């Protein structure tokens, strides 16, 4: 509570949303201090029940979600529900890991709001995309169609006509498995549609299941499974995704992920995070196991 959410240095004077005032202005690219305003409750990015109800997990009930304006930009605020106090800090940490891995994600922040509670913040990337719309991938799945790697990577190829966009998705599934994000459903994979065509949107909703679990379970061997099935299993972990992407001809992407993955760098990111020591250890233990499956 006494350290800045941006620089992690002590807050000796009056803070602004849990940051030094200069840190707040620098982070949010403001020329003067402003408050989050026009705060509107928003519904969660729920997975539709059809066609893949078996892939649905539990994050959708864990966050309260709001839109807000700060300066000239629009933001999404995720304020934790009672019972999951470390989920905002967990999603912030996971985004730091994704950024370290080179994944395209929206700009993200950690503040204290309301009062001294952590709040995860992302900038609404669509406000900077004129004449464009966000289209979720589930719109391209037929009723009863399995939500799996092969089908999704095919849809991405059909819609974007770009192998590079397919490779971004393959890389994402490995990162999701690494941190234990078990909730990559059809409303948090999207396309940006514009007159120039379709591209994958930056990847949002990136928390680990470790941020959701109860304190008393954190010492257990937690092994959350991926929401996106493979041909061999509907409970995939890292080794299953590696096998699947090799089968589908994406060996080079898996190899690139291996080269980008640095356990030492991730350990350092976790060490200086705002999580409790017990949750830090649980997440690092999971990442060690998943990294060994690469």
| Structure confidence by residue, pLDDT tens digits, 239-250 | 999 999 999 999
Assign a CATH topology to domain 133-292: 1.10.1070
Q: Which residues pair with 69 in a beta bridge?
A: 37, 74
Give the model's pLDDT for residue 55.
47
Which residues of the chain are in CATH 1.10.1070.20 domains? Answer: 133-292
Q: Which helix (H) or strand (E) holds 198?
A: strand 197-200
User: Looking at the DSSP assignment, which residues form a beta bridge with residue 74?
Assistant: 69
Single out the residue of 273, 205, 176 nearest to residue 62, CA to CA: 205
**What does the pLDDT read at residue 47?**
52
**Residues β-bridged to residue 111:** 119
| Alpha-carbon distances of 56 from 44, 155, 279, 288, 293, rounded to whole Å | 13, 20, 24, 26, 24
Say how many residues make up the chain: 294
Position 56 scores a pLDDT of 45
Q: What pLDDT, on the 0 to 100 scale, is given for residue 62? A: 54
SS3 49: coil
Residues of the chain short of pLDDT 50, as ranges, are 49, 51-61
CATH number for the 21-125 domain, one of 1.10.3470, 2.60.40, 3.30.200, 3.40.630? Answer: 3.30.200
Residues of the chain with CATH 3.30.200: 21-125
Q: Tens digit of pLDDT for each residue in 38-69?
A: 999 987 655 554 544 444 444 444 568 999 99
């Amino acid at each position: 509570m006494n350290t800045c959410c941006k620089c992690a240095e002590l807050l000796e004077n009056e803070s602004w949303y849990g940051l030094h005032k200069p840190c707040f202005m620098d982070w949010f690219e403001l020329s003067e201090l402003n408050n989050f305003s026009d705060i509107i409750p928003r519904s969660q990015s729920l997975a539709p029940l059809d066609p893949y109800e078996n892939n649905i997990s539990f994050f959708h009930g864990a966050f309260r979600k709001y839109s807000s304006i700060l300066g000239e930009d629009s933001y999404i605020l995720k304020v934790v529900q009672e019972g999951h106090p470390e989920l905002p800090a967990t999603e912030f940490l996971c985004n730091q890991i994704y950024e370290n891995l080179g994944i395209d994600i929206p700009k993200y922040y950690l503040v204290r709001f309301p009062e001294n509670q952590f709040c995860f913040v992302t900038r609404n990337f669509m406000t900077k995309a004129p004449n464009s719309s966000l289209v979720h991938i589930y719109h391209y799945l037929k009723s009863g169609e399995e939500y799996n790697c092969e089908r999704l990577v095919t849809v991405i190829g059909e819609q974007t006509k770009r192998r590079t966009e397919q490779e971004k998705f393959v890389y994402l599934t490995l990162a999701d498995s690494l941190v234990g994000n078990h909730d990559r459903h059809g409303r948090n994979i999207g396309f940006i549609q514009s007159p120039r065509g379709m591209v994958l949107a930056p990847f949002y909703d990136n928390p680990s299941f470790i941020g959701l679990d109860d304190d008393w379970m954190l010492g257990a061997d937690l092994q959350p499974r991926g929401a996106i099935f493979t041909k061999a299993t509907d409970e995939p972990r890292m080794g299953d995704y590696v096998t699947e992407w090799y089968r589908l001809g994406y060996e080079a992407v898996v190899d690139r992920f291996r080269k980008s993955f640095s356990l030492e760098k991730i350990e350092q990111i976790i060490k200086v995070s705002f999580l409790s020591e017990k949750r830090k250890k649980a997440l690092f233990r999971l990442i060690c196991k998943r990294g060994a499956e690469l």
